[in-house]
Amino acid sequence: MMDKDNVLLVEQKGAITHLTLNRPDKRNALNDDLVAALDRFFANVPSATRAIVISGAGGHFSSGLDLSQHVAREPLEVMAHSRNWHRAVAQIAHSPVPVIAAMSGAVMGGGLEVAATCHVRVAEESVRFQMPEGLRGIFVGGGGSVRISRLIGPDRLTEMMLTGRTYSGAEGERLGLAHHVVSEGQALARAFELAERIARNSPTINGFIIQAIAQIGTMSPEAGLYAESLTAALSQTGPDAEEGLRAFLEKRPPNFG
């Protein structure tokens, strides 16, 4: 399937949905149509989907925000656009279905902001991580000051934005921008391998892992421990827990349906 504007390709492969950012002539720069297409998809994820892989067409994940749309906006228009972006990409971060980013080429600016919302990130060695907004006279507006700084720390993000420094895939893994590093051309295959593994988990537990850990990370330690106990109680009293424990005792892989 294609989004109506062809900027987002959607392909179902069994329990995995593959999303391809499809503006290769612009290195998949994120324009309003592409953000809206992502918003529409994550607002109504197919019920059969157990994992989602996001990649970019033409050798690049995304070179960032399409600045051609932002040269003549007033301050309140910029703020409204940023808040809409926050709402749209939050659907990726809060998706109950795990999202795996397959990153190649440019992963810059807004592209890195989108990647930072994904729950598992695979980078090729030749990836170029960069936050060049400071060099262009603008500030981040897609959530990077929160999400990327949580991954690498405010100090590191400050330096990236002040200097326009670029990190490779291996450097990005060391910092926390990626979880896995693979050789050039292998990110998508590795992302699907991980997606297939994740898709075999209990969908309920996958949702708990994504939602609960993110919320617990913002709580005080005691509140977090209480939320953990509540989540554990919910998870261990349902049919998936019964199947998981039965499969363990019977020495077979679980079948969560």
68 CB-near residues (< 8 Å, 6+ apart): 31
pLDDT at 99 over 60: yes
Q: What is the mean pLDDT of the chain?
A: 93
Q: What is the pLDDT of residues 177-232, one digit of tens each?
A: 999 999 999 999 999 999 999 999 999 999 999 999 999 999 999 999 999 999 99
Chain centroid to CA 143: 12
Domain 8-199, CATH number (from 3.40.50.2000, 3.90.226.10, 3.40.50.150, 3.40.630.40): 3.90.226.10
Annotated catalytic residue within 11, 133, 159, 243 = 133
Annotated catalytic residue within 77, 113, 184, 243 = 113
Q: What is the average per-residue pLDDT within 87-116?
A: 96
Q: Which 3 state secondary structure label does DSSP give 181?
A: strand
Least confident segment among 37-46, 102-111, 130-139, 193-202: 130-139
CATH assignment of 203-249?
Answer: 1.10.12
Rounded CA separation 112/125 (Å): 16
CA angle 34, 37, 43 (to 5 degrees): 140
Q: Quote the percentage of the chain above a pLDDT of 70.
A: 97
Q: Where are the domains of the chain?
A: 8-199, 203-249
More confident residue, 148 or 247: 148
Question: Is 193 tagged catalytic?
Answer: no
Structure tokens at 79: 């703020």
- DSSP category for residue 65: B
Q: pLDDT band for position 2 (50/70/90)?
A: low
| pLDDT at residue number 5 | 65
pLDDT at 72 over 60: yes
Structure tokens at 203: 């969908």
| pLDDT at residue number 70 | 65
Question: Is 113 tagged catalytic?
Answer: yes
Residue type, 90: A
Question: Which DSSP string corresponds to 100-115?
Answer: EEEE-SEEETHHHHHH
